[in-house]
Amino acid sequence: MATQINRLTHRAVQAATKPGRYADGGGLQLNVSASKTRSWLFIYRSPTHRVQRGEKLMGRTREMGLGPADGRDAVSLTQARDRVVELKRVLAQGLDPLDHKAVGQAAKSRKFGEVTDEVIASLEAGWRNEKHKAQWRMTMEVYAAPLREKYVADVSTEDVLEVLTPIWRTKAETANRVRGRIEKVLDAAKAKGYRTGENPARWRGHLDHLLPKRQKLQRGHHPAMPWGEVPAFVARLQENESTGALALEFLILTAARSGEILRSIRNGEVMGARWDEFNLDAKVWTVPAGRMKAGREHRIPLSERAIEIVKTLGKAKRGPFVFSGQDVKQPLSDMALEALMRRMDAKPYTVHGFRSSFRDWAGETTSYPRELAEAALAHTVGDAVERAYRRGDALERRRELMEAWASYLSPTSQAKVVPISKGKKEAQ
């Protein structure tokens, strides 16, 4: 039986040393044990746990601890009262606070990465585009990697900014997609009861006050060297015998992305072009799905000059990567190519922009089908491409295109005449 005091005071709390319970009203009690330790209790009738009392079914009386009243982690009288007000709101919703607490504790153990995987699994059934699926997974596994091991209930604004700030200015479009996907995961976590409060990845009224507005940033375009200037640039590259120069020339010849050739990270694994991906007899480089933006394996026909580059590097093969850095166990970083571009006064053009140079050359100077050029870039154009190349990946037709591109780039070519294809519209 609790000793009723007409509402406890802070002084009365300090003076209560005799073992027993001291009621503050509203279900809050100060409990003094036989060993003189003191703690707070909330006594209530459960709306979900019931017991038969005679002919009536009544809520079972339950006790919930609110923390110690003494010591370093002491809960003050005011804090205990505030907590009781919160718990009564839970009761008003027809929930039992002890059960609600158990749910909260279970949610506390859910990590952001686990919830992300659940969200992707639930959404991907409605995604028809494989590229979209692959990009969702890649961005959340690579850019949002610092969040994956954090408890989803604890993800804060500072955590979100840690992910976004490094890429907000340099990869504006990607950064905005990452932000939106983090926001979606955290919204789903809240809907499932895994977290409470405002979403720290929300843009309007929150991150828009902490990050520069996107219209002031680079929109994600990659300035491309005009195709007419590329042969002279390649000639200058061939005067440089460094691995970086060979890597950049190979990238231009194959119209590949730097992440398909050089250092990239997927699921914590360092990736780059490996020797076992090349079949020089068949003149094909097969890039595995895990390193492709669309998440699909891509075969690239190799021109004679591209094969020459691979063979040149093969003479000094020292590690698993074709284009290795100073540490032969690591692939060359794409930053090395950017640095090379700066040294050659090729700015503001970008490494990625050479893909656009290739596409513009193919579209403006050859009669190869548009779909063929898009396939060479590993782009998915839609149903038209699927119909036109449904019997294969048009490897041999693409080989003609890439040989024509290599011939155009060759510094030894005098007239720079671009072959005009009379090829068929469908792959053989």
What is the chain's pLDDT, residue by residue, as a tens digit (428 residues)? Answer: 455 445 788 888 888 889 999 999 889 999 998 888 899 999 999 988 888 777 787 888 989 888 888 887 788 898 889 888 888 887 887 888 887 665 555 555 688 999 999 888 888 777 766 667 778 888 898 899 999 999 888 889 999 999 999 888 878 888 889 999 999 999 988 877 777 778 999 998 899 889 987 644 444 456 889 999 999 999 999 998 899 999 999 999 999 998 888 876 554 455 789 999 999 999 999 999 888 877 788 999 999 999 999 999 999 888 899 998 888 788 888 788 888 999 999 878 889 899 999 999 999 999 998 889 988 998 865 544 444 444 567 889 999 999 999 999 986 543 333 433 333 333 33
Q: Please report where in the chains the tokens 């007899």 appear, as a residue.
A: 281
Cis peptide before 348 (omega within 30 of 0): yes
Q: What is the pLDDT of residue 9?
A: 86
Cα 167 from Cα 127, distance rounded (Å): 26
Tokens of 266: 């997927």
Tokens of 117: 């995987």
Q: What is the pLDDT of residue 129?
A: 61
Give me the sign of the Cα torsion angle 273, 279, 280, 282: negative
SS3 label, residue 42: strand
Q: What is the pLDDT of residue 422?
A: 36
Cα 131 from Cα 298, distance rounded (Å): 13
Domains, the chain, ordered by start? 3-106 (3.30.160.390), 112-216 (1.10.150.130), 227-409 (1.10.443.10)
The C-alpha angle with vertex 417 and arms to 413 and 420, in degrees rounded to 5, equals 135
Q: Which of 200, 173, 205, 206 is nearest to 186 (CA)?
A: 200
Tokens of 254: 């194959």
Tokens of 25: 């009203």
| pLDDT, tens only, 95-154 | 888 876 655 555 556 889 999 998 888 887 777 666 677 788 888 988 999 999 998 888
Cα 217 from Cα 83, distance rounded (Å): 46
Give me the sign of the Cα torsion angle 87, 91, 94, 97: positive
Q: What is the pLDDT of residue 423?
A: 38
pTM above threshold 0.75: no
Alpha helices in 223-270 (DSSP H): 230-237, 243-254, 258-261
Tokens of 389: 């190349």
Q: From start to end of 252-360, where are the E strands?
A: 264-266, 269-271, 278-279, 284-287, 298-301
Q: What is the pLDDT of residue 299?
A: 94
